Amino acid sequence: MNPSELTILEAAKLMREKKLTAYDLVSSCLERIEADNGEINALVSVSKTALDEAKAIDARRSSGEDLPMLAGIPLAIKDNIMVKGWMASAGSRILENHTAAYDATVVAQLRAQGAIFIGRANMDEFAMGSSSESCHFGVVRNPVDRERVPGGSSGGSAAAVAAGFALGALGSDTGGSVRQPASLCGVTGLKPTYGRVSRYGLIALASSLDQIGPLAKTAADVAVILSAIEGNDPKDATSSGPYETYLPEIDTEPSVEGVRIGIPKEYFLDGMDERVKASVMYAVRQLEKKGAKIVEVSLPTTEYALAVYYLVMPAEASSNLARFDGMRYGLSAGGATLQETYERTRGEGFGAEAKRRIMLGTYVLSKGYYDAYYRKALKARERIRLDFEDAFKVCDVIASPTSPTVAWKIGEKFGDPLTMYLSDIYTISANLAGIPAISVPCGTADGLPVGLQLMGKPFDEKTLLRVACTQQKT
C-alpha cells in the first residue's frame, strides 16, 4: 500500500515496528503533492525541510528512543494558524506577505511530538466561507470530484487529507469550517468544546466561536491529534483543562452499548436532500444495532441559529479585523493621509466577503442598533445553549447530517451569499452553544461523500469519539 493512504495509527504502528520509515512516509505524501496539488490547490506552500525532519526522526528512532505517536507523521496546517517563520496569510491579500513571528500553541505541542508540517492549507479568506472559493490563493478542488467544491473554510485541510498530501491536518471551526469540509471530502473532522484547545496563534475570525480542530481519515486519528493539542494554555484565558483523553490505541473495541443517541425533530425536515437523510439514518440504525438507544429530542430554537450566528460572528469579525489597517501587519497601500492609507489598504486588501461581514458587524454594533440586533442575538444564543442542555438530559450525543447537501459544483453558490450561509444550518449551533461536534463519513450519494454529525456534552469528547470510532467499525 502507498504509505500516504495509511491512517495515522497504522503508520505509527509500522514505524514503531521498523517496517516503515518517516522518510518513506513523507516522500510518499510529497509525491502525491507533486502529482496533484497543481490542480487540487489544497496547499498554498509546501515545506522544504520535511524530508530532513523525517530523517532526524528516523535517526532518533533507530537510536532506540521511544517516540510519541505523531513522530514523523506529516500534517497540513491551515493558513490561519501560526508556524514560526512560515507565511500566515489566512487566505487574504491583506496578509499575503506576512510571516509568523511565533508558533501557535497547538503547533508547538505538535512539534514537541515530532509531527512534520508538510504545508500550509488553503482556505477561504479569514475563514469566511463554506466552499473554499473565496481564497486569495485560488479555488480548492474536491479530490473526490474535481469539478466540485471541497467545502470550507478549511477546504485545503480536508482536501489535503483526502488526497493523501498529509495524514492529518489542523483546521479552524467557527461555524462548521472543520466539519463541513470533512463531510464533503469524505474525511473525519472534530470541533472540540470551546476552550479545550488553545486559540493562541490562531488568526481570529470570531473569538467566542473559534476553535482549532483536527481532520484525519478516521475518528481514531482525530483522537490522537486532539490528545496532542488539547489542554490549558496560560496564553489563552478561555482555555481550560487538563482533560480525560480518549485513547484509541487502548479502546480497540469501542462500544456504544447503552449510549443514548438523540435525533432532533427540527433537523430532519421536508426539503432536505433525501439521499443525505437516508445515509445518516442508516448510520444511526447501525449504531442502534450495536447497542445504542435512539431517542427523539427537540431543539426548538434551531430556526434562529442562522440569524444569531450571522449577527454574532460578523460583530466579532469586524472588531478582530480592525487590526489590519496598513500600519502594523501585511499590506500597506500607502496614502497621503492616515485615513487614506486605511481606506486604500483595506479597500485593496480585503475580498468581497470580508468587506460584507465587516460592514454587517459594524452596523449591528453601532449605537442604536446594538440593542436591537447584537444584544438580542446574545440572548437568543443563550436560549440555543439551553436547548442543548435540556436535550442532553435525555441523551448522550445528538446525531444529524453535517451538511444538508453533498459537495456542489464550483461556482454553483458563489455570488449568492444567502444560499451559501444556509449550507451551515447544521453546524453553527454547536459553535453557538460551545459544545463539541464531529463529522464522520457515513456513506455516499451518487459517489459523493455524506457526513454524519455527532454533537456531545461540553468536554465530553470521549463519548463522541467512542461513538464515532464504533460507527467507523461498522
Active site residue ranges: 78, 153, 177
Q: Closest approach of Cβ 2 to ligand GLN, in Å? A: 31
Interface with ligand GLN: number of residues (CB under 6 A): 14
C-alpha cell of 89? Answer: 496569510
Distance of closest approach, residue 42 Cβ to ligand GLN, in angstroms: 17
Q: Supply the minimum distance, in Å, between the C-beta of residue 431 and ligand GLN.
A: 7
Position 432 contacts ligand GLN (CB under 6 A): no
Determine the Cα–Cα distance for residues 85 and 100; give it in Å rounded to an integer.
5
Exactly one of 173, 316, 387, 460 binds ligand GLN (CB under 6 A); that residue is 173
Exposure of 149 in the CB half-sphere (CA atoms within 13 A):
30
Single out the segment in contact with ligand GLN by CB under 6 A; choices: 61-69, 173-181, 271-279, 293-301: 173-181
Contact present, 445 and 197 (Cβ < 8 Å): no
- Nearest distance from residue 248's CB to ligand GLN, in Å? 25
Kindly indicate which of the ranges 1-9, 97-105, 155-163, 175-183 contains the residues binding ligand GLN, using the contact rule CB under 6 A: 175-183
Tell me the closest approach of the beta carbon of residue 309 to ligand GLN, in angstroms: 7
> How many Å apart are CA 270 and CA 426, to the nearest integer?
15
As measured in angstroms, the least distance from the Cβ of 67 to ligand GLN is 33
Residue facing ligand GLN at closest CB distance: 177
- Exactly one of 106, 313, 391, 430 binds ligand GLN (CB under 6 A); which one? 313
> How far is residue 382's CA from residue 132's CA, in Å, rounded to a whole number?
30
Q: How far is the CB of 153 from ligand GLN (least distance, A)?
A: 5
List 197's β-bridge partners, or say none. Answer: 230
Residue 87 CB, shortest distance to ligand GLN, in Å, is: 19
Cell matching residue 170? 489542523
Stretch that binds ligand GLN, among 135-143, 174-182, 222-230, 323-331 (CB under 6 A): 174-182
- Contact code string over 188-227 relative to ligand GLN, x by CB under 6 A: -----------------x----------------------
- Residues between 441 and 460 that touch ligand GLN (CB under 6 A): none
The three-state secondary structure class of 72 is coil
Angle, helices 461-473/274-289, rounded to nearest 10 degrees:
100
CA distance between the termini of the chain: 22
Binds ligand GLN (CB under 6 A): choice among 128, 283, 395, 399: 128
Among 76, 127, 139, 280, binds ligand GLN (CB under 6 A): 127
Which of 74, 114, 129, 401 forms a contact with ligand GLN (CB under 6 A)? 129
Angstrom distance (rounded) from CA 125 to CA 94: 10
Nearest CA-CA partner of 176 in 440, 461, 429, 460: 429
Residue 219: count other Cβ atoms within 10 Å of its Cβ: 30
Segment near ligand GLN (CB under 6 A), from 93-101, 170-178, 285-293, 367-375? 170-178
Q: Counting contacts by CB under 6 A, is residue 58 touching ligand GLN?
A: no
- The residue among 33 and 42 lying less far from ligand GLN, judged by its C-beta, is 42
* Near ligand GLN by CB under 6 A: residue from 28, 37, 130, 302: 130
For 22-69, give the DSSP string.
HHHHHHHHHHHHHHHHHHH--EEEE-SSHHHHHHHHHHHHHTT----T
Q: Rounded to 10 degrees, what is the CA torsion of 32, 33, 39, 40? A: 90
| Grid cell locating 151 | 467545502
**Alpha-helical runs (H) found in 252-331:** 274-289, 302-320
Q: Rule CB under 6 A: which of 323-382 touch ligand GLN?
A: none
Which grid coordinates belong to 436?
A: 463539541
The candidate with the shortest Cα–Cα distance to 92, out of 338, 333, 318, 352, is 352
Is residue 93 helix, strand or coil? Answer: helix
Q: What single letter denotes the amino acid at residue 296?
A: E
In the bound state with ligand GLN, the residue whose beta carbon lies nearer, of 155 and 326, is 155
Subset of 400-429 contacting ligand GLN (CB under 6 A): 424
Is the Cβ of residue 80 or residue 227 nearer to ligand GLN in the bound state? 80
Site residues, ligand GLN (CB under 6 A): 127-130, 153, 172-177, 205, 313, 424
